[in-house]
Chain A
């Protein structure tokens, strides 16, 4: 039984580890203090988990748009996505 075919690379492994850690942290946070749905600048009322999903999906699209419309380095899109995540988590 070998998993060589999964073709792991360091960056993708780091990426999945980050996502995994986020999910674990969110679960613990949720257990410690359950989140109540609330209404922010988003047109629907959301819980913390919903906002994380929206933040991640939005970040994916920010990166894709950056790759599609500009020739600049992808690393410039990264902080933009972080800011977006924070804004959604805090005010969404």
Chain B
């Protein structure tokens, strides 16, 4: 009886959570005239016109590709740099370790608006404006510290005796790290990758500032197209739905890792 009450409460919460997303989905299958014409809880004349427009117009679909490219690069960079650093923080004491750890976190704290100008200048100095790598590097500013922080938690959950035994068995550090240690925290790496993907995917201000056309993210395409020619609610909703799809695919593939990773140790 008690279990049932918990499940019902949880289901109600999930229902409320899905409601706004459902509403956007509903809108995306209706034409603009239809939306403004009458109120409907579900689409009566389903149309795919909004989606067709996004998939056939390069200005639209390239936005998705750009976002996916820089998010992937960023996740790879963040993980490969954060793994050794997190190991250092979880296993060793060294000069300034506490201070560096907190300093890394402070990089999430600066208000973006004014930092955008120096950011733009810095990346133009290196000729990186409007490239995917520029956005990927800039997003490292907040993703690398987060990755270090989360991974450090997972690594501290692994007993130090494992390291000691491996070193006694004659493993070198790189071999131990890749062959023994990484498989142990595999699920933790999955969880970290999810967080990196997420924060890079949803960030707009920096991505918009550092790009003009070739690497413009989808979220920026949405804001510009909308302000240009009045509000097309149906198209806007369809574009919004499509921004959820890549993320949804990612969590679908890592869901078991996440469940396991979360069970693995203190994050």
Contacts and interface: CB of A to CB of B under 8 A. Distances in A.
Chains A and B form a bound pair: yes
Interface of A: 1-3, 5-6, 26-27, 30-31, 34, 47, 49-50, 53
Contacts of B126: 1
A30 B125 contact: no
Nearest to A49: B99
B111 interface: no
Contact of B98 (A2, A34, A47): A47
24 contacts: A1-B125, A1-B126, A2-B125, A3-B125, A5-B118, A5-B121, A5-B125, A6-B118, A6-B121, A26-B96, A27-B95, A27-B96, A30-B95, A30-B96, A31-B95, A34-B95, A47-B98, A49-B96, A49-B98, A49-B99, A50-B98, A50-B99, A53-B99, A53-B102
Chain B: interface residue count, which band?
Answer: under 10
Contacts of B95: 27, 30-31, 34
Contacts of A6: 118, 121
Contacts of A49: 96, 98-99
A49 B121 CA distance: 33
Contacts of B102: 53
Interface of B: 95-96, 98-99, 102, 118, 121, 125-126
Contacts of B121: 5-6
A26 B98 CA distance: 14
- Please give me the 5 A-B residue pairs with the lowest Cβ-Cβ distance, nearest first: A5-B121, A49-B99, A30-B95, A1-B125, A27-B95
Given A5-B121, A53-B102, 15 more contacts: A1-B125, A1-B126, A2-B125, A3-B125, A5-B125, A27-B96, A30-B95, A30-B96, A34-B95, A47-B98, A49-B96, A49-B98, A50-B98, A50-B99, A53-B99
Contacts of B99: 49-50, 53
A3 B125 CA distance: 8
Contacts of B96: 26-27, 30, 49
Contacts of B98: 47, 49-50
Nearest to A27: B95
A5 B126 CA distance: 13
A75 to B, nearest CB: 27
Nearest to A23: B96
A33 B121 CA distance: 42
Nearest to B100: A49
Contacts of A30: 95-96
B251 to A, nearest CB: 38
Contacts of B125: 1-3, 5
A67 to B, nearest CB: 19
